[in-house]
Amino acid sequence: MDVDDYVIRVDHLSKEFKLPHEKNNSIKSAVVNFWRREKGYEIQKALDDITFDVKKGDFFGIVGRNGSGKSTLLKLIAGIYTPTQGGIHVKGSLTPFIELGVGFNPELTGRENVFLNGSLLGFNRKEMMQKYNDIVEFAEIEKFMDQKLKNYSSGMQVRLAFSIAIQAKGDILILDEVLAVGDEAFQRKCVNVFEKYKSNNQTIVLVTHDMSVVERFCNKALLIKDGSMVEMGKPRLIAQMYSDLNKDAYSKQRRRIEKKRTYTGNIKIELLDYKTKNEKNRFVQGEKMRVKLSWKREGVKNAGVAIMKQSGEYIFGPNTYRDKFKISGKEINYLVDLDIGPGEYFVKAGLFGAKDTNVLEFVDEGPSFNVEEPKRKNKWGGLAHLEYNWE
C-alpha cells in the first residue's frame, strides 16, 4: 500500500486552550476586569505534537487515561476544534459519534427525535421511514416512542442515540466511548455492530477504555498520556502499556493515601526489594519481597506480618512466636516468595509481647503492592502457586 494511501493524516498536531483566571459573574466584574487590563490566563496544552496515519479499512484505537486528550483529538479530527499547530487531512466523508444524543430535543417524542436526528445525518424522511422500525427494535424501546424524551432514562436516551447513529453512511466513523452505553445485553449488540463494521472493512477510529475491544477489533492503536504520544503499534502491546499506566497511577494513589495514614503507635512498615533493599511496590510472581518492620517502643518480643488481597481475602501470615524466632533489636525483616496470583495486595503487621496474644501495636491496613504475571509461556492461574509433581 502506498505511503500516501491514507484516509486520515494527523501531522504534528498540537492544541492549546486559554484558561482565564478571572471570573465575570456580573456586568460590574466584567467592566472592572476590562479596565484592569490584566487578562490573566494560563495555557493548557491538551495535545502536543501528535502524528499518525489511518489507512482505508483500519480499525484504529486511541487509548489513554481520563484527561489524556483523547476526546480533544477526536474533536479536532471531526473539525469541531481547530488546531493550534499542525494539520489534519481527511479523505472521504467523516461521521463523528463523539457525544451521542447531541441534537436531541427533550420536549419532542422519541419518534420525532428519530426523524430530527436522521435529518442531521443527511437522510430524508422517506429514508428514515424505511429505517425507523430497525432503529426502534435495536434500541428496545418500542413502548416509549410516543413519550417525550425528557421522560426517558439516561440509558434509554443513549440506546436510542446509538441506534440512530449506526445508520450513518460515512466513509470514516469516529466513535467516542460508545460501548459505555446501555446494559450488558445492549453492549453485546454494540459488539455485533463492530463485528459487522470489521467484516465490511469499514474505517473506524475508536476511543475506548475497554482493552478487550481494542485487542479484539483494532488492527493498530495509539496510546497517549498527558496530551503526548507514548506509543503506536499492535493493539496487544498498547493494551498492556495502558494497563501498566493504570497500575502506576493506582500505586501512586495508594502511596499517597498510605503516607497520610496515621498508624496507632510507632510501628513502621516498609516494602523493599529483596536484594537492593530499595523501596518497591511492584513485583513479579515468584519474586522475593522484603518487609521491614521497625519500632521505638520497649517490650517487643515478637512480630507478625500478613498478606491480604485488596478484596479482603487473607493469603498468609506467620509470626515469630509460632516460628520460635528470637528478635534482637528494634527491627526485623520478613522475606517472602510471592508465589501468588496477579493482583493488588496489602500487608498487615503487629508487634507482640512474650506471646502472640499480647498485642502491643497493630496495623490493620498497611502498605499495598502489586503482583504481575511474568513474561513467560508457562504462566499459571489461580490465587497461589503450589509446589507439585506429575506421577
Condensed to tens digits (0 to 9), the pLDDT of residues 26-66 reads 666 665 555 555 556 788 889 999 999 999 999 999 999 88
Asked if the structure places residue 27 within a domain, the reply is no
Closest CA to 123 of 133, 110, 132: 132
Asked if the structure places residue 253 within a domain, the reply is no
Asked if the structure places residue 378 within a domain, the reply is no
Averaged confidence pLDDT in the chain: 85
Asked if the structure places residue 32 within a domain, the reply is no
Q: Which of 159-168, 171-180, 187-196, 203-212 has the lowest mean pLDDT?
A: 171-180
Give dist(CA 119, CA 113) in Å, integer: 10
pLDDT, mean of residues 109-120: 90
| Residue 232 shares a structural domain with residue 277 | no
Percent of residues, the chain, with pLDDT higher than 70: 85
Q: Is the pLDDT of residue 2 over 70?
A: no
pLDDT band for 262, please (50, 70, 90 cuts).
very low
pLDDT band for 310, please (50, 70, 90 cuts).
confident
| Residue 43 shares a structural domain with residue 191 | yes
CATH at residue 332: 2.70.50.60
Asked if the structure places residue 379 within a domain, the reply is no
Structural domains in the chain (count):
2
For residue 1, the model assigns a pLDDT of 43
- Are 122 and 171 in contact by the 8 Å Cβ rule? The answer is no
Domain membership of residue 350 as a residue range: 265-372
CATH at residue 214: 3.40.50.300
Report the amino acid identity of residue 307: I
Give dist(CA 231, CA 240) in Å, integer: 11
Which position has the higher pLDDT, 181 or 132?
132
CA angle 331, 335, 340 (to 5 degrees): 140
Q: Where is the domain boundary, 247, 274, 308? A: 247
| Residue 232 shares a structural domain with residue 319 | no
E-assigned strand segments in the chain: 8-20, 41-54, 59-63, 85-90, 94-97, 172-176, 203-207, 220-225, 228-233, 268-273, 282-284, 288-294, 302-309, 314-316, 331-337, 343-352, 359-363, 368-372
Q: Is the pLDDT of residue 209 over 80?
A: yes
| Residue 161 shares a structural domain with residue 18 | yes
| Residue 219 shares a structural domain with residue 80 | yes
Task: Find which of 29-33, 100-104, 233-237 is predicted with most confidence, using mean pLDDT.
Answer: 233-237
pLDDT, mean of residues 229-237: 92
Closest CA to 243 of 212, 273, 216, 218: 212
Q: Where is the domain boundary, 193, 220, 247? A: 247
Q: Is the pLDDT of residue 260 over 60?
A: no
Asked if the structure places residue 113 within a domain, the reply is yes
| Residue 111 shares a structural domain with residue 216 | yes
| Residue 146 shares a structural domain with residue 227 | yes
| Residue 297 shares a structural domain with residue 350 | yes
Asked if the structure places residue 170 within a domain, the reply is yes
| Residue 148 shares a structural domain with residue 283 | no
For residue 101, the model assigns a pLDDT of 66
| Residue 290 shares a structural domain with residue 207 | no
Condensed to tens digits (0 to 9), the pLDDT of residues 322-332 reads 999 999 899 99
| Residue 240 shares a structural domain with residue 337 | no
For residue 120, the model assigns a pLDDT of 81
Q: What is the pTM of this model?
A: 0.63
Q: Which three cell numbers stand for residue 298?
A: 520497649
Q: How many helices (H) and strands (E) would you count in the chain? A: 9, 18
Asked if the structure places residue 309 within a domain, the reply is yes
Q: Is the pLDDT of residue 360 over 70?
A: yes
| Residue 200 shares a structural domain with residue 322 | no
Q: Where is the domain boundary, 185, 212, 247? A: 247
